Structure 1
Amino acid sequence: MLSEIKLPPSIKLLIGLLTVSIIVWWMYLLQEILILVSFSVLFSMLLYPLCHRLEKWHFPRTLAIFVCLLVTLAIMAGVISLIALQIADFSDTFPTFLKKGETFINELQSWASHNLHISRKKQVTELRNQSLTLLKNSGNIITNALGTTLNSLSSAMLIPIFVFFFLLYRDFFRRFFYLAFGRGNRKKIDLVCTRIYTVVQSYLLGLFTVILIVAALNTLGLWLLDIEYAIFFGTLAAFLLLIPYIGIMIGSILPMLMALITKDSPMYAVGVAGVFLFVQFLEGNFITPHIVGSKVSINPLAAMIALILGGQLWGISGLVLALPFIAILKVVFDNIDSLKHYGYLLGEAEIHHKGGGRILG
């Protein structure tokens, strides 16, 4: 064993860095399959309580899993139907929306001509040049967008299959860990698996609760400002919380555009921005820390670093998976004696304020 060999600290550090580098390289190289497996594992953990309950009611495991998947697909179908209805409403009001948009553009051109001394002719010429440039690049843009969409859809279609097998073979995987780490460590393996499941389950349920609260706050704010489709915009921005820190701000763009075009004053758009900024402040400082943070027990610095690294490694998927992944890593570190100090580094730090205004850990 490496731990039993007397090596200089510098050599151990070098071996550790090389090991981490190789793991990260393989994670990047195999990101498509690893992202698919990671999401499938999270969905399996989310569906496990229902599946376990059905099995207690003497459902065969295969039938219980099918019922869980059907319930999930029914919920997703309902959500997609609601989105489709909202889009249908958009299409009915599109002529009015387009007319107000033209009026807004004309007013903007007049403002630019009067205040910035840019003639309408120059504005039209620049707009035509930009349109031609966009058309030239549109082929590549559309091709890349379609390719990305098709790849995402094909991967998403495989998730239910992976979820089915993860739930079906969960005892098989547990026995594999017994064989890999020795049956003498059976109790410890069971403890780690239980803690991982508890942390991830708590994170997912906490995140869902946060989404519901934020959706209600967004919708209330938009409704008070009399913005059309307040429920749709508020809920959409809340679900974009799955992209930490920037998701809710991305979700504010559409209602701000709606306010600019459908309202007489641009102050409505400023009000929409204010609503989302206020909700994001509440979410980041009070709602998420109390509902999710206490269950995951990861300090904010470690969470931010994990989010940055996850985004660089796997893009948006990495942002979504970063927090549950780092929470699982902490559970593993906490239960391995030689790695407990890393688990301590990821955990919540106790800050004590002592004399002289100094902050000591």
Structure 2
Amino acid sequence: MNNLPLTVKRSIELLGLVLLVGIFVIGNDIIMPIIMAFFISIVLLPVFRFLKGHKVPEALAIVLPILLLVIILGGIVWFFSAQVGLLVADFPQIKNNVAIHVKALSDWVSTISSYSTTEQMEFINKNTNELISFAGKRASGAALTLSSLFVFVGLLPIYIYLMLFYKDIILRFIFMWFTPDHHPKVKEAIYETETIIKSYLVGLLIQVTYMTVLLGLILMVIGIKHALLIGVIFAFLNLIPYVGALIGNIIGVLLTLTSSTELWPVVTVLCVIAGVQFLDNNILMPRIVGSKVKINALFAILGVIIGGNIAGVSGMFLSMPIIAVLKVIFDRTDIFKQWGVLLGDERPQRSPMTFPAFRKKGKVTTRPGVDKA
């Protein structure tokens, strides 16, 4: 491939990119559980090695970490279900609070426009009927999505077990793709990929825990109703870069509005969320996850949006570790190094338009205040 003209190389790269996206779009129901299982198996790998090192049979050394993972996930589901149950129990009060807020909003609209309360109610009723009709049409699609979710969750333990059991075969397959003189780089990339994925996913688990506890306890002390539910919802949505935090804020405001007839709790919730998120983004998370690979914000957001369109929530969640792994691979291959530069946030100290040294593929000095990958 090194002997091919530059235009042919770039055409092959773009064609490969289109084919890769096409494969994900067509086969996301098959591919996404495999990728998720791959990432989880890497997280469980240290536990597997520890048990195997203590003479535990290989099959049992694989099953025990998977059971531990199932117990942790079961505890999370139980906690979330309990909080939702408390919310459902308050439904009569929520209905009254919503009616009060709707009336206040209607009165405000009447003061700034010519629409009367009657006209507003007619508009709301009309759109409510259309929304119900739309929901009915989507019911079959929702059932299909739910069945796909059960298949996804059901396949995960099987995939994780098989990946841990056959990991040496997979590694041998990877090495056989390359010539022996490239094996040191391949080995280095494998170790770095393992480190990045473990740091990222374990860091996310720690992040969900401390954000739920910290945000929930602060709101509870202040006197906000359903504080723990707001905390756990925001903590999980915050796993989705950039987009999740915005959705979490909106849901937090809606939950607060439905549980109170005043506006001060809404302002309080937004301020507490902003404070906790600032602490998380600037102090806690960088120390937990570290800065092994830095992805620039543009491609982080694009990755989340593209992942969401291809595979829904799982695609949004997996977009960042997938991009991080791709960057590790690109940085270690001469023909794809420019793609690694595009994904990273190592901004050159000078403009490549005026300084030819910054147009090359070698290492460049970055601007002050920017971490190196």
TM-score band by shorter chain is 0.7 to 0.9
Letter in 1 for 2:39: L
Any idea what the Cα deviations from partners look like across 1:68-127, whole Å, max 9, x if unmatched? 111111111111222222222223322222233333333433444455453332233223
Q: What SS does the aligned partner of 1:252 have?
A: helix
Counterpart residue number, 1:335: 332
Counterpart residue number, 1:242: 239
Counterpart residue number, 1:190: 187
Residue of structure 2 aligned with 1:99, choices 81, 96, 99: 96
Q: What SS does the aligned partner of 1:242 have?
A: coil
Residue of structure 2 aligned with 1:38, choices 32, 35, 56: 35
Aligned 8 A contact 1:202 1:296 in 2: no
Mapped to 2, the partners of 1:115 and 1:84 lie a distance apart of 42
Aligned 8 A contact 1:248 1:276 in 2: no
Q: Give 1:159 shift.
A: 0.9
Counterpart residue number, 1:19: 16
Counterpart residue number, 2:357: none
Any idea what the Cα deviations from partners look like across 1:109-149, whole Å, max 9, x if unmatched? 34444554533322332232223222322321222222212
Structure 1 residue 61 corresponds to structure 2 residue 50: no
Residue of structure 1 aligned with 2:152, choices 155, 179, 188: 155
Residue correspondence of structure 1 range 1-361 to structure 2 within 5 A: 2-3=1-2, 5=3, 7-114=4-111, 116-182=113-179, 185-292=182-289, 294-349=291-346, 352=349, 361=367
Mapped to 2, the partners of 1:29 and 1:281 lie a distance apart of 39
Mapped to 2, the partners of 1:243 and 1:254 lie a distance apart of 15
Q: Give 1:160 shift.
A: 1.0
What is the TM-score of this pair, normalised by structure 2? 0.83
Q: Give 1:183 shift.
A: 5.3
Percent identity for Structure 1 against Structure 2: 30
Q: What SS does the aligned partner of 2:124 have?
A: helix
CA-based RMSD of the aligned residues comes to: 2.9
Mapped to 1, the partners of 2:196 and 2:298 lie a distance apart of 19
The alpha-carbon distance between structure 1 residues 128 and 163, as it changes in their structure 2 partners (threshold 3 A), is: same
Aligned 8 A contact 2:211 2:276 in 1: yes
Q: What residue ranges of structure 1 are gaps of 5+ in the alignment?
A: 354-358
Any idea what the Cα deviations from partners look like across 1:176-218, whole Å, max 9, x if unmatched? 2233335565444333222211111111122233333433442
The alpha-carbon distance between structure 1 residues 261 and 25, as it changes in their structure 2 partners (threshold 3 A), is: closer
Mapped to 2, the partners of 1:310 and 1:154 lie a distance apart of 19
Q: What SS does the aligned partner of 2:292 have?
A: helix
Mapped to 2, the partners of 1:313 and 1:13 lie a distance apart of 25
Mapped to 2, the partners of 1:255 and 1:304 lie a distance apart of 22
Q: How many residues align?
A: 354
Aligned 8 A contact 1:203 1:295 in 2: no
The alpha-carbon distance between structure 1 residues 246 and 23, as it changes in their structure 2 partners (threshold 3 A), is: closer
Q: What residue ranges of structure 2 are gaps of 5+ in the alignment?
A: 351-364, 368-373
Any idea what the Cα deviations from partners look like across 1:239-290, whole Å, max 9, x if unmatched? 1122111212222333322332333422321332233234344444554445
Mapped to 2, the partners of 1:301 and 1:96 lie a distance apart of 43
What is the TM-score of this pair, normalised by structure 1? 0.86
Any idea what the Cα deviations from partners look like across 1:305-343, whole Å, max 9, x if unmatched? 444443444443332222211221222223334444543
Mapped to 2, the partners of 1:131 and 1:160 lie a distance apart of 42
- Structure having the higher helix fraction is 1
Mapped to 2, the partners of 1:293 and 1:28 lie a distance apart of 32
Aligned 8 A contact 1:227 1:255 in 2: no
